[in-house]
Chains A and B, each alone.
Chain A
């Protein structure tokens, strides 16, 4: 018999609030690490030096070509056997595996973003005396961002759900908590419903946040006056924080994504 009372009881319980928090911060940290590492991988991959680009090709080949679950287990079970005494905590193990895996996907997304920027932009920056990193940071990446951000949002949506894999090594995020709390009373089904509701809540909130960011990064938004009280041309909050505003996308846009990183 399905027990609705168990659903209501657990949905507001500290266990699940704690679990949702674990899922959220795991996702955020792994995603951020994936973006930063992915950026470096992308730049290495685009290098004209083979000794820089080839290792990245192998890296991406491995992490995209094998299941994340297997990568987690390799790190959790395999590594201590290879290197006796090296034992990560569950959380460290998950963070490392997720970050490395995500970096492989992000490196391809970032590479596509950078490639989408007209090479003339880099030339103009260099001709003005800008060095590589300055030109990257001020000129290339801000323009690549409008191509990177939509699939990045999809990646993070995926990440929120993929963290459920952490439950296999006993980490108490949403899925793991449902299994552990549900086992003694045979109410796993009810608790998985609770976990599902939390996942839906997190992904829905993220969806709104992503759309808000994308709207704010459109300079036309600021140019049209944006929010009342803003001078034309004045930058929105998101534009200032990120240090740039993007030109509006041409009609028939990439925004909708369709880059889903199914794995």
Chain B
């Protein structure tokens, strides 16, 4: 955590300017979270969290419920606002603009534009209930990006093929299984050609026998080089696919490192306890 120390030193100065993302790292860093703090009332959900995700990297965040991992993910595309700190995606400040050293919340259009480049997959899928699978996928490309409908449909069919649901194109979500819905949701996010994908416990709401089909799609994406931040309880997936694993508890990053280190040789007591509980499960 040398990074954290250097930034602590940084904060002493007045005013606390964020480091404009250094030129040298601009091409390698996709996400940079600096000292993010988030409170829900009195509850400190994120307590000075800093992390980075490199381009093409798969970062998996694990930890007990209530540890702040989902909140952290939601802050990355500004579904939640942080109370202090900075979050950059691809070198751009998320949700805020810097005006004379002060952070000002960005305009709706700017936030929307940012979000359009970040795919988000929800635990509860959140497919648009009044639209077929195909309509779900073409909705944002057509109405946000302005892609011609025919083109969007062709692309959507391609994506449906990719997630193995070509024959479900004209089916409404309530007629699909959870696993199928989640795969459509992933296709819907991919249709925006995001540079970053965020997965919020994408398999937690699924029946056990349906988890595999969703993980398979996520695995495939990782292999294609997609930059991903994945919040999950699937330790097998984390071990196999992650380049970097972060263990969070009580709003702080307790331990992070390559999967072999976190799973086979955890340094922290709390990490060991958590993994022990999972294994005993």
Contact = CB atoms under 8 A, between A and B. Distances in A.
Given A131-B109, A232-B170, A126 B128 contact: no
Interface string A217-232: 0010001000000001
B100 interface: no
Interface residues of A, number: 26
A123 B129 contact: no
Given A128-B140, A129-B192, A138-B143, A123 B108 contact: no
Interface of A: 118, 120-121, 123-132, 134, 138-139, 142-143, 219, 223, 232-233, 244-247
A128 B192 contact: yes
B170 to A, nearest CB: 4
Interface residues of B, number: 34
Interface of B: 77, 79, 108-109, 112-118, 120, 122, 124, 126-132, 139-140, 143-145, 170, 172-174, 185, 188-189, 192
Contacts of A128: 115-116, 139-140, 144, 188-189, 192
B79 A247 contact: no
A232 B132 CA distance: 12
8 contacts: A120-B126, A126-B112, A128-B140, A129-B117, A130-B112, A134-B143, A219-B130, A245-B130
Given A129-B112, A129-B115, A247-B174, A233 B132 contact: yes
A124 B189 CA distance: 10
A219 B172 contact: yes
Contacts of B126: 118, 120-121, 123-124
A247 to B, nearest CB: 5
A93 B109 CA distance: 41
Given A120-B122, A142-B130, A219-B130, A130 B174 contact: no
Contacts of B120: 124, 127
Given A120-B124, A124-B122, A130-B112, A246 B143 contact: no
A124 B136 CA distance: 11
